[in-house]
Amino acid sequence: MSRLEAMIARNRELEQQKEQATFWPELCRRIDAGQVIPIIGTAVFYEQLFDMDGDGVVGISRAAKSGNGLSLEEQLAGAWARGIGFPFSGRHCLADIALYNRVVKCHDDQEAKVRYLNWLKNALLALAEEDPEVDAAVIAEQRQEIERSSFADIAVELGYPRPVQGQADPLAQLARLNLPIYVTTSYFDFLERAILANGRTPRTQVCFWSRRNRSVEPTRYVDESHRTDHDFQPTAENPLVYHLFGLETYPESLVLTQDDHLDFLADLTQNGANQTNPVLPLYLQRALTQSSLLLLGYHLHSWDFRILFRVLINLLPPRQVFNLAIQLNPETQQWVTSADDIKTYLKGYFEKPLNFTVEYGTTADFVAKLWEAWDQWRR
């Protein structure tokens, strides 16, 4: 390395140290003001549901311990693909597999989504049979209730979500930040349960994104409190948990297949100017424009992330408010050929449209650092 290159590297290091010195206090100040909104992906939950042995390998493919660069969601999708006879290569994209399931295996959209939820329940019960901490009688009882119980209810009865060995519970730490708004693309209510355990009373609201879902009569099956309440004012004591991609209680609301993701994006785009019955409540749209956003538990190539990011770009004007995305370190991923090039790409992808900063590492590690910084700052 030449002297000039060494000077450039040193200056870059000093600049990063300066940014870190101001980053955490500013983030904590915004948490204190209730101006941070975590947007939480399914990966945050799955890590505590399917990583039974705490070694970072999903239980459903426990034989493959070499590490293939696949996320837990992708490994689960691959297992489902094998189960339903998905005939195409690349068996790890859930949206593709779900579309095949709906077109070939099911009579209608709701049946297809119910079948997927039931498969998840069976997968979790099968893994629990290998877990020495779970009573066999509980597993047998939950198998009998599989059609009547939600995935979240079954998981809780089995003793999950369970923090990965050696880590604090990221859901509990996020709940303890006492923020007024949480957004999730997960179909399950584990976040609400964590907030309740924190001594607060969350308000669940669901994005009934299609025109058909929004027109369903409330008396038919929808809990009225789950519908958009345009007058609701989230507070630290009564926070909002907004399920952007649906809730398992209402299978039709799930954004699951490729078509669902595209229709969801189109519906939100077409509905953007609607001031009387918007898909997303206006108070949430305002909060998203005024708050720092933390994207937790997403992968750049997943449909969930790609559609979510386009939604944010469509909804949010250019602004100076900083946002943060957590991205696994490319250097640890076997599918990456050049970690430096990937980091350059991610920096450009996130920063230009919405002023996102990329933090490398796992979600659990970041949330632990965030909680430690917040705990020290508030003292």
Q: What is the DSSP letter of 101?
A: I
Q: Which residue has the tokens 């230009």?
A: 352
Share of the chain above pLDDT 70, in %: 79
Give backbone dihedrals phi and psi of 121, rounded to 5 degrees, phi first: -60, -45
- Residues 25-40: what's their mean pLDDT? 92
Name which residue leads in pLDDT, 94 or 325.
94
User: Residue 268 pLDDT more than 90?
Assistant: no
User: In terms of DSSP H, where are the helices of the chain?
Assistant: 3-32, 42-50, 72-84, 94-100, 109-128, 136-144, 151-158, 170-175, 190-197, 211-214, 258-270, 282-290, 303-315, 339-354, 363-378
Task: Please give the C-alpha separations between residue 30 and each of 91, 242, 261, 288, in angstroms, as whole numbers.
Answer: 41, 20, 31, 13
Question: Which run of H or of E encompasses 329?
Answer: none
Q: Quick one: pLDDT at residue 148?
A: 93
Return d(Cα 362, Cα 355) in angstroms, integer: 21
Number of Cβ within a 10 Å radius of residue 340: 10
d(CA 212, CA 220): 13
pLDDT band at 192 (very low <50, low <70, confident <90, very high): very high
Residue 77 CB neighbour total at 10 angstroms: 22
For 226, the enclosing helix (H) or strand (E) is none
**What tens digit of pLDDT does each residue of 62-114 get?**
433 344 667 788 889 999 999 999 998 777 899 999 999 999 988 789 999 99
Strand partners, 36: 292
Q: What is the pLDDT of residues 117-169, one digit of tens each?
A: 999 999 999 989 988 889 999 999 999 999 999 999 999 999 999 887 778 89
212-265 pLDDT, tens per residue? Answer: 555 444 445 788 889 888 889 999 999 999 999 999 999 999 999 999 999 999
pTM of this structure: 0.88
What is the number of residues in the chain? 379
How confident is the prediction for the chain on average, in pLDDT? 82
pLDDT at 62: 44
Please state the rounded mean pLDDT for residues 195-222.
Answer: 77
Query: Could you give the CA distance from residue 97 to residue 260 in angstroms, rounded to a whole number?
Result: 13
pLDDT for position 319:
60
Q: What amino acid occupies position 305?
A: F
